[in-house]
Amino acid sequence: MRHTLCDVSSQTKTPHLGSCLSCVDILVALYWQTLNIDPKAPKANDRDYFLLGKGHAASALYTALAYRGFFDIEALYEHGQTGSQFEEHPGIHAPNGVETVSGSLGHALSLASGMALSTKLQNRDNRFYVLMGDGELNEGTVWEAAMFAAGKKLDNLVAIVDFNKLQGTGQSCDIMHLEPLEEKWRAFGWYTLRVDGHDLASLHSALAEAKQQSQPVCIVADTIKGKGVSFMENDNNWHYRIPKAEEVEMAKKELGLL
């Protein structure tokens, strides 16, 4: 998946590769171990919902969906092209498996909170998972939603923070005072866990623990921007840079595919 992300970025000239690479393991833990979904029935009434808050990581979501069987992997190479359903940020014509438009940061948790409440009122068992970037936590709507979800006891809602410590213009904790992040979520009434966001066993354990709680859950996942490719890791230039063909080959070698 990481190599596909690098190759698609290079060939389609779409950015945000560093942001995509940091959340790959989280998406794998969700789509292969946690979510109740069926690629053959993407609109099933009993499905779980995944909402991508950090819409600039759309390529990572599209890639996870492709490898999970929602559509052909080759379709990823339409990403960002004129008329494509694989827009740089998910839009209204997004492919099956994408539950909401995103890109304007800060809205996904609010949307998921309303959806989670709606299903509880209907006595349905759907669960809702939201992946947010740490820079996204700058948005006040996130904390309004956090208060709402705790107040409504939305035990069917899980927020995951891709805490890679970088956002578009610098270090996240320098731009806004995020830490201590777990304590903030706990103070808002959420059951909170902090894990290594690149350790699948830890992610699986945290997601399983989340299902046992009687309140909304926040998983703070410590990650590395550009994870998996040494010359991209913790280099914020890869928030926007497009890899050259030779850099894709270097990444492929580092990822053990050559």
CA 206, 209, 211: angle at the middle one, nearest 5? 120
How many Å is the maximal CA-CA distance in the chain? Answer: 54
Q: Which residues of the chain have pLDDT under 70?
A: 258
Question: What is the H or E stretch that residue 128 is in?
Answer: strand 128-133
Lookup: tokens for 134? 């740490």
- pLDDT at site 258: 66
Across-strand partners of 196?
222
- pLDDT at site 8: 97
- pLDDT at site 257: 86
Give 234's DSSP letter. Answer: T
- pLDDT at site 103: 81
Range of the domain at 190: 2-254
> How far is 68 from 72, CA to CA, in rounded Å?
10
CATH code of 188's domain? 3.40.50.970
Strand segments, DSSP code E, in 21-72 are 49-52
Across-strand partners of 161?
132, 220
* 3-class SS shares of the chain: helix, strand, coil, % to 5: 45, 15, 45
Are the CB atoms for 105 and 57 separated by under 8 Å? no
Q: How many domains does the chain have?
A: 1
